[in-house]
Chain A
């Protein structure tokens, strides 16, 4: 039971980036991963209760404690990454405001050809500028 619990927390911790972060519904708030942590925590609680309550029958006191601490550490790391690190970004206070003119610019596109905002505007109803962190 303790190993199962640790397995759930391990999956909960490492599955976010390769799997759940791909979909907005499970990325914006990591509820799927938190559910997996909850499942792991439940299994560890049951496992440790057995190990310490009926040691003659179940055993695994040491492994239960170690896996419990490791799982807590994984949970802590996950929470730090998701709820603290992900919010450590500049406020963007220097950004132009709604109603102001968008500063014009020319930048190369993916093939190296220059693209100018004011030229794009001439052929469009509107232009959406998306700034991103590089790759995502």
Chain B
């Protein structure tokens, strides 16, 4: 889990403007079933990569759980799912 300072640096470096959250105790990561216990540096608990598309009512419309840490959902794939879901 990155600290707030790490996230701030990353946002500044990359120009990200969306909310960049930190889950130091991995509570939300656990709630979403994406904990990778001991998967980080020095055996720290981290998240496995995963993307969840949530509609305005809070329903989950699309989930992408990659089987390969290098292969993540690309922006165009997510936008296609947004269109498919009619959001």
Please give the residue numbers on chain A whose beta carbons come within 8 Å of chain B beta carbons, in ascending order. Answer: 21, 24, 27-28, 82, 86-87, 89-105, 107-112, 115, 117-118, 120-122, 124-135
Contacts and interface: CB of A to CB of B under 8 A. Distances in A.
Given A110-B20, A126-B55, 9 more contacts: A82-B70, A95-B34, A102-B59, A102-B60, A118-B58, A126-B53, A129-B52, A130-B73, A133-B47
A105 to B, nearest CB: 4
A86 B62 contact: no
Given A101-B58, A110-B22, A135-B6, A87 B51 contact: no
Given A92-B34, A92-B48, A100-B59, A129 B54 contact: yes
A109 B20 contact: yes
A105 B31 contact: yes
A83 to B, nearest CB: 9
Contacts of A134: 1-2, 6, 40, 46-47
B53 A105 contact: no
Contact of B29 (A82, A89, A131): A131
A120 B33 CA distance: 21
Interface in B36-71: 36-37, 39-40, 46-63, 65, 67-71
A131 B48 contact: yes
Interface SS, A side: loop
A120 B65 CA distance: 23
Contacts of A110: 4, 7-8, 10-11, 20, 22
21 contacts: A86-B68, A89-B36, A90-B37, A90-B48, A91-B65, A93-B33, A95-B50, A96-B63, A101-B58, A101-B59, A102-B59, A103-B31, A103-B32, A109-B7, A110-B4, A110-B8, A131-B34, A131-B49, A133-B36, A133-B48, A134-B46
Given A89-B48, A105-B28, A120-B19, A95 B65 contact: yes
Q: Return the 4 tightest CB-CB contacts between A and B, nearest first.
A: A94-B33, A95-B33, A110-B7, A107-B21
